Amino acid sequence: DVLIVAIDQSNLERLGRWPWPRYRHARLLRNICASKPAVVGINIAFSEPGDDASADDLLAEAIAECGNVVLPLVIEQTQSGGQLLETPPIAPLAFAAAGLGRIGVHLDEDGIARSVDLREGIGIAAWPLLAEDMLRVARRLPKKYDHAPAASDTTDLGHRLVRETRRRFEFVGAPGSFPRLSYSEVLDGKISPLVLAGKIVLVGVTAVGMGDALPTPVSALADPMPGVEL
């Protein structure tokens, strides 16, 4: 039920250098949503206004009209050892979205990604994962799923990073195990609506060298897994 709309190297060669204008993402999103997917998660941080305010408005309109788009929030440091910040999408996009979920995985001491915290936040573990919020919007959370609040979920711990409920990944397989569609082909309307209908759709970068790939037990250092797939 999961499809990745991949921004791969061939897309970059065809559509130009990153970042792309946001009116392009708006057009892509309209094409996806016309196929009536269960949910769309965009694994691209829109934390700052774009160069063209009208393009930001177009993307916000496309997100609102779709009605089931989940956007990412990033928890990051301003510099090495600096202040921690929770960085959501810009206000018009965040307001239009059906949900916000956290992206980013903490690596083990050997540099391998094996697990993730279901809740994380500054002072309070408030933010779910992007994947969880997508399942919530799609109404596909497992029936037995229950994130029981721990003490720190209701206690303000200042500017500390608070994490709750660590879980190990159950990997489906090596990178590429989930089906991928080309961003440019979806953008150009070359994909049948039946392919996307009812699916959990993720949009994100898979191109090597874009900084969004992580070594895992099923991929290691030689062939890291794109963050959107992880």
Q: What is the DSSP string of 123-160?
A: SS--EEBHHHHHHHHTT-S-TT------GGGSS--TT-
Quote the pTM value: 0.91
Q: Which two tokens stand for residue 227?
A: 């963050």
Strand partners, 5: 181, 203
In percent, the amount of the chain with pLDDT more than 90 equals 77
Instruction: Give the per-residue pLDDT at 159.
Output: 79
Give residue-wise pLDDT tens across range 24-55: 999 999 999 999 999 999 999 999 999 899 99
Rg, C-alpha atoms of the chain:
17
Taking the C-alpha atoms of residue 202 and residue 45, their distance in angstroms, rounded to an integer, is 13
Give residue-wise pLDDT tens across range 194-230: 999 999 999 999 998 776 889 999 986 678 999 999 9
Q: Which positions ≥6 away from 187 have C-beta within 8 Å?
A: 24, 27, 28, 31
Query: Smallest Cα–Cα separation from 103: which of 85, 116, 90, 84?
Result: 116
152 pLDDT tier (thresholds 50, 70, 90): very low
80 pLDDT tier (thresholds 50, 70, 90): low
156 pLDDT tier (thresholds 50, 70, 90): low
Residue at 109: amino acid letter: E
